[in-house]
Structure 1
């Protein structure tokens, strides 16, 4: 998968993860992109470790599910850490 496709995948996976997670999400669109990309990387890594299923094709349902699950995990951790520090937007 190309670099631009990976950024688009991370952006969309991050937006979907924001919609899935409950509560108010206060991060910017840039933060969503970055966390989505990190989440897509995490999802690809988890998929390759647990299921031997890396992120390969942009239009594969497996790729999207792994990226979204990874993004939900990363956004959940980010929200927990940010909430614990008492910061607000």
Structure 2
């Protein structure tokens, strides 16, 4: 359980740095990372890939978290998006 939280924290922080340029805070990073782990696992399973080990888990979780944040931004709208 603790290891899952640590991987979620790292993946959430990385996803925040990739998508926003800043982190979401401790609990936000953990939540985004854990949701990202499920999303990433689902996406990797769809294309027939598996990740093993800690580094593989972080990579899958980060990719899933970035995908999750992308979908959330599509529905909530981004402040950077302007309509002309």
Is the pair's TM-score, using the shorter chain for normalization, greater than 0.5? yes
User: More relative contact order in 1 or in 2 (CA 8 Å, sep 6+)?
Assistant: 1
Structure 2: which 5+ runs fail to align? 79-84
Q: How many residues end up aligned between the 2 structures?
A: 78
Is 2:60 the counterpart of 1:62?
no
Compute the RMSD of aligned alpha carbons: 2.4
Q: 1:72 aligns with which of 45, 62, 66?
A: 66
Tell me the alpha carbon deviations over residues 28-64 of structure 1, each in whole angstroms, 9 at most, x when there is no partner. Answer: 432222121101111112222322415x53x2x3222
CA distance in 2, matches of 1:50, 1:31: 28
What's the TM-score, normalizing by structure 2? 0.70
Partner of 1:18: 16
